[in-house]
Amino acid sequence: MTGLLEVRDLACHYAVAQGGWRKPAPLRAVDGVSFELPAGKTLGLVGESGCGKSTTARLVLGLLPPTSGAVHFEGELVPARRNARWRALRRRMQMVYQDPLSALDRRLPVIDQVSEPLLIFAQGNAAERREEAAALMASVGLTPNLFDRYPHELSGGQRQRVVLARAIIMRPSLLVCDEPISALDVSIQAQVINLLQDIQERFGMAFLFISHDLKVVRQISDEVAVMYLGRIVEQGAPEEIFQRPAHPYTQALVSAIASPWLRQGSPRIVLEGDPPNPVEIPSGCAFHPRCPSAMPVCRQQPPGLVDIGAGRTAACHLLTRQTSGTAC
Ligand SMILES: Nc1ncnc2c1ncn2[C@@H]1O[C@H](COP(=O)(O)OP(=O)(O)OP(=O)(O)O)[C@@H](O)[C@H]1O
Ligand SMILES: [Mg+2]
């Protein structure tokens, strides 16, 4: 096992009510997701709404039991049940959510919330805990006059700094960030991203970073995975993914960002139709009904994730045909 985090063939299927007398139908929120994350590195997870990013994050942390597959963290299987072993592992992997206000207790001064994990894991006495929390809060840019305030007395950016301080006080080796900046004012977003990069440098934490903001994902990630309807369809280094997207879905995602680092003259690709209902995933390649380059084989056979060179993998018949030279 090489990575800090190893995710193998992870799946999470829900049974959703269909109404009336109809049998509940399976919804494949995550379906066969595998990746590795080395210590101190960042994996960016992108894809449109409902593709399974948050479900993947919750499965990684053991907050949801997988339907199948496994997550290994620091060489140990993450238990599907919240037992003592899970609690011990959970101390080393923390999560930062989109909305800092709902992540905090409105009735407690923020410094008590930052120091709370030390209390839960019986570290130091009350004075030492407060001292450690204060030092960490100062290091993430919170001034002492804010320490004894309540969450509603802080700005959104200050609250997210409190959430970050609380998440890192036990020095986890993995921080799962699910849309950590999307609820913040644009002017504050860059500050929080800089803070996250600073935290990673100081403490050597790995990040699983979920965001709709592709520019930020490119800036912060060592590797990027693109999800479509519960599956990873392309994965590789950010410069490859964003400058030479290989999968037609990645090409469409990337073409929607106007940026100087995109290839000059690349046309915007507008995908036809809405994302399909995850209860009725199309046969073959799930992307084929919206793919501008779909071939007959795409309707019949699901493409496997294969190596397409330059450390990249992608799941697309078009790419397999190009690399193997066989006609479909
Ligand atoms: N408890 C649940 N029961 C049934 N379906 C669920 C449940 N939780 C999530 N889903 C479904 O699983 C799919 C994936 O949801 P998920 O929240 O992981 O998407 P996401 O990629 O994080 O989306 P967003 O970008 O909007 O946050 C969606 O179709 C969602 O409706
Ligand atoms: Mg989500």
pLDDT tens digits along 30-82 = 999 999 999 999 999 999 999 999 999 999 999 999 999 999 999 999 998 88
User: Per the domain annotation, does 142 fall within a domain?
Assistant: no
User: Per the domain annotation, does 11 fall within a domain?
Assistant: yes
Strand boundaries in 38-173, DSSP class E: 42-46, 68-73, 76-77, 93-96
The pair of structure tokens assigned to 102 is 């709902």
Q: How far is the CA of 55 from the centre of ligand 2 (A)?
A: 7
User: Per the domain annotation, does 126 fall within a domain?
Assistant: no
Sheet holding 5-16, edge to edge: 25-37, 5-16, 68-73, 76-77
pLDDT digits (tens, 9 = 90+) for 202-255: 999 999 999 999 999 999 999 999 999 999 999 999 999 999 999 999 999 998
Percentage above 70 pLDDT, the chain: 94
Residues touching ligand 1 (Cβ under 6 Å) are: 14, 16, 27, 29, 49-55, 278
CA distance 134 to 146: 10
User: Per the domain annotation, does 80 fall within a domain?
Assistant: yes
Q: Which of 53, 59, 64, 211 to mutate to test the pocket of ligand 1 (most atoms within 8 A of CB)?
A: 53
What total of structural domains would you count in the chain?
A: 1
User: Per the domain annotation, does 156 fall within a domain?
Assistant: no
Residue 148 CB neighbour total at 10 angstroms? 11
What pLDDT does 320 receive? 83
Residue nearest to atom 11 of ligand 1 (CA): 29
The CATH number of whichever domain residue 318 belongs to comes to 3.40.50.300
User: Per the domain annotation, does 42 fall within a domain?
Assistant: yes
Q: Which residues have beta carbons under 5 A from ligand 2 (an ion)? A: 54
User: Per the domain annotation, does 160 fall within a domain?
Assistant: no
What pLDDT does 268 receive? 74
At residue 258, does pLDDT exceed 50? yes
Q: Which of 48, 55, 67, 176 to mutate to test the pocket of ligand 1 (most atoms within 8 A of CB)?
A: 55
Q: Supply the range of the domain harboring residue 203.
A: 5-92+172-324
What pLDDT does 260 receive? 57
Q: What is the pTM of this model?
A: 0.93
pLDDT digits (tens, 9 = 90+) for 269-319: 777 777 778 888 899 999 999 999 999 999 999 999 999 999 999 999 999
Residue nearest to atom 18 of ligand 1 (CA): 52
At residue 86, does pLDDT exceed 90? yes
CA distance 65 to 193: 30
Banded model confidence at residue 18, pLDDT cuts 50, 70, 90? confident
The pair of structure tokens assigned to 82 is 């919240």
CA distance 137 to 131: 10
User: Per the domain annotation, does 85 fall within a domain?
Assistant: yes
> Sign of the C-alpha dihedral, residues 65, 44, 208, 173?
positive
CA distance 298 to 190: 40
40, 64, 287: which is closest to 173 by C-alpha? Answer: 40
**Counting ligands in written order, which one lies closest to the CA of residue 53?**
1
> Sign of the C-alpha dihedral, residues 260, 247, 235, 45?
positive
pLDDT digits (tens, 9 = 90+) for 97-154: 888 899 999 999 999 999 999 999 889 999 999 999 999 999 999 999 999 999 999 9
**Counting ligands in written order, which one lies closest to the CA of residue 15?**
1
